[in-house]
Structure 1
């Protein structure tokens, strides 16, 4: 795998760092254009009458954009785990990789429940995998912060506190709203839904705080760019989750596929970009170390 990033033959490799980053950016832009152009609801005849709905093919497309983003990200993270030269730590990338693949599987079950079964997708089997995602990604990000041995300035701690307070307040405000309509879900789902909802809220806020710490801790370091991408991915996941909770509670019979759900796709893309940038930086550092030993 190390030959893939051999700078002596950059034009011969389709999997060079530049090509993978460009592919990630292209996927993010295509997703944005797709959401912008086709997310509008159109009047549709249903059994209950005419309702504004999004086309089914559009909903399928949003699931495909999201699935490919997280599947690709998971593969790139696991590649970091297999590398002996990775800077941050192989277990960190193993945990993120498992989290990304779990989100991919969760999205598959979510889409299947909503599109094929025509049922309320929350809660569903997919939530098992979403919970796994938060647990593993949270563990990985905490491990990365601890490995940095943070020594922040007072003003940096103030930034973390400010974001923690504002992020918690927004999450609480949105999640405490009364749902616009009761969904037809099973009794067991009615009981577990509040627990899952608050688990996601607390996890989103914690990831937001850790992401802020990562930005400050890794700023200006050798692998700073890769972890800025990881932090941006956590911010994107927070935005997408907050929007979905707000829309579900405030919009009558909300149908997934809203424009801000593009942040789910961007989150997966940014995790992948962070992985490939760290892989490249780690190999470059390894080559430099070998060069010093020869000299």
Structure 2
């Protein structure tokens, strides 16, 4: 009777997996519509084309809550003793999501409140920490599964890594990069170059790991969560590459349409965590049922 009550409560809870996934999808749709409808620049009082401050604030809110919710869901997996994947994997990814949330807060504060170009900000500390934590979590996930890819699959992984590296090299040699660096002090230039290269190298490594996950986990219920994580990494790469291109221009202002991929990346990380949690509970219930039988 107690077990029946617990199962019934789980199904009726507003925080069940179905509702969490639907909430994430709704947040993604809202973000896409918001970026599409309101991202156009309009002349300000000085006749300069700028995006409305309320719009830029809204993009920061959409992004912040996506990563905050994803972080909470990942840490829920870490606390669960029934989770299929290593709990340390979800601890690292969850802390990475929360670090990205904090980085976005500082980035937005510098741009919206302080009215400064967010070339370098306190948020970069948290963004760097995000990539380190995500890399550790995904590498541990790959290593713990004993992945054995075929030769053609490794060729795909290497090809994507080569393409990502070529794109990074192309964007790094744009004239805008040199103009932006010239406006900084020598110390700031060194920090800017280090952070800039750290981001792009991390992006390439992440999409290679994501490709490995995508090729290795292409079947089964448990694999669905890691496909979401893989696509989240690809979306993060798309947004980062756009920022590398557009963010180095003197007239850059956040909120371009392609930056919606940052929001979508956070949404997919959260969905991946929720699906892993649900699949782990289902697997645990099946194992208990077999033991009783």
Give the TM bin, normalised by the shorter chain: over 0.9
Alpha-carbon deviations, 1:248-272, whole Å to 9, x = none? Answer: 23x4411111000000000100000
Q: What is the match of residue 18 of structure 1? A: 18
- Taking structure 1 as the reference length, what is the TM-score of the superposition? 0.93
The more displaced of 283-292 and 220-229 is 220-229
Superposition deviation, residue 191 in structure 1: 2.5
Gaps of 5+ in 2: none
Q: How many residue pairs are counted as aligned between the two chains?
A: 288
8 Å CA contact 2:180, 2:250 repeated in 1: no
Q: What is the match of residue 267 of structure 1? A: 265
Write the distance in 1 (CA, Å) between the matches of 2:136 and 2:194.
Answer: 20
SS state at 1:254 partner: coil
Q: What is the match of residue 242 of structure 2? A: 243
Q: What is the match of residue 117 of structure 2? A: 120
- Correspondence 1:74-113 to 2 at 5 A: 74-113=71-110
8 Å CA contact 1:71, 1:104 repeated in 2: yes
Alpha-carbon deviations, 1:4-47, whole Å to 9, x = none? Answer: x965346521101100000000000000000000000011123x
SS state at 1:8 partner: helix
- Taking structure 2 as the reference length, what is the TM-score of the superposition? 0.94
SS state at 2:214 partner: helix
Write the distance in 2 (CA, Å) between the matches of 1:7 and 1:91.
Answer: 27
Gaps of 5+ in 1: none
Cα 1:278–1:241 change in 2 (3 A) is: same
8 Å CA contact 2:67, 2:266 repeated in 1: yes
Superposition deviation, residue 182 in structure 1: 3.1
- Correspondence 1:205-224 to 2 at 5 A: 205-224=204-223
Structure 1 runs of 4+ with >4 Å offset: 183-187
Write the distance in 1 (CA, Å) between the matches of 2:107 and 2:192.
Answer: 15
Write the distance in 2 (CA, Å) between the matches of 1:257 and 1:190.
Answer: 25
1:288 aligns to 2:286 (yes or no): yes
Alpha-carbon deviations, 1:51-104, whole Å to 9, x = none? Answer: 110000000000000000000000000000000010111000000010000000
Cα 1:188–1:116 change in 2 (3 A) is: farther
Q: What is the match of residue 193 of structure 1? A: 192
Write the distance in 1 (CA, Å) between the matches of 2:78 and 2:191.
Answer: 34
8 Å CA contact 1:120, 1:185 repeated in 2: no
8 Å CA contact 1:99, 1:136 repeated in 2: yes
SS state at 2:48 partner: strand
SS state at 2:119 partner: coil
